[in-house]
Amino acid sequence: MASASNLNQFPGICTHPTMALLKIVHYPDPRLHKVALPIATVDDEIRKLVADMAETMYAAPGIGLAATQVDRLLRLIVVDISEAKDDLKVFINPEILGSSGLSEHEEGCLSVPGIYDLVSRPERVRVRALDQNGAPLELETDGLLAVCLQHEIDHLDGKVFVEYLSRLKQERIRRKLLKQAREAM
Ligand code: NI
């Protein structure tokens, strides 16, 4: 997920020479619509991907990133909704066990740069996953973290937030981003 549009720098990001910024795939790239595969073993290769995804998310800057967005079809997301950007949460093979309520939030996405719109989702979710050590975790949450988790888990299922918007808006966003991509070439 993209952070609020007025937030554009993060002082004090720790960059390590072995980490790498990954290229973020932009809508309407068809790779964003593939379903990611479960991670069988949480090993050093996965932890390296976690570190690179975290660095990529902080640099963007964003508050959530799914592996699908960096062209790795694995069920892995990183999230940090803290102001200080010091509370990285890693979810491997995340599953939504239950949800309740309904609320509307403005969402943005690092794969859909510059686009923000209101999306309705369940207010509260219960999520189960593995952490970066392969240990099981379960949490129940609401507010921004619940929005972010649902947005990122959607990515793993090949769904981008603009698909919750009207056909007309989707078409407008698609044309705008294709134009941006052409101009950047
Ligand atoms: Ni996104």
pLDDT digits (tens, 9 = 90+) for 66-79: 999 999 999 999 99
**Higher per-residue pLDDT: 138 or 18:** 138
Work out whether the CA dihedral 132, 72, 61, 143 comes out positive or negative: negative
Which is the catalytic residue, given 123, 152, 163, 171?
152
Question: Which residues are in the CB-under-5-Å shell of ion ligand 1?
Answer: 109
What mean pLDDT value characterizes the chain?
A: 93
How confident is the model at residue 184, as a pLDDT?
Answer: 87
Distance 161 CA to ligand 1 centre (A): 7
Q: Which domain holds residue 91?
A: 4-184
Look up the CATH number of the domain holding residue 12.
Answer: 3.90.45.10
For the cut 60, the answer to whether the pLDDT of residue 16 exceeds it is: no
Count of domains forming the chain: 1
| Residue 3 binned pLDDT confidence (cut-offs 50, 70, 90) | confident
Instruction: Please give the Cα distance from 18 to 12 (Å, whole number).
Output: 18
Q: In what order do the strands lie in the sheet with 136-142?
A: 64-66, 76-79, 89-100, 124-130, 136-142
Across the range 24-36, mean pLDDT stands at: 97
- Identify whether 183 is a catalytic site residue: no
Distance 104 CA to ligand 1 centre (A): 16
pTM of the model: 0.91
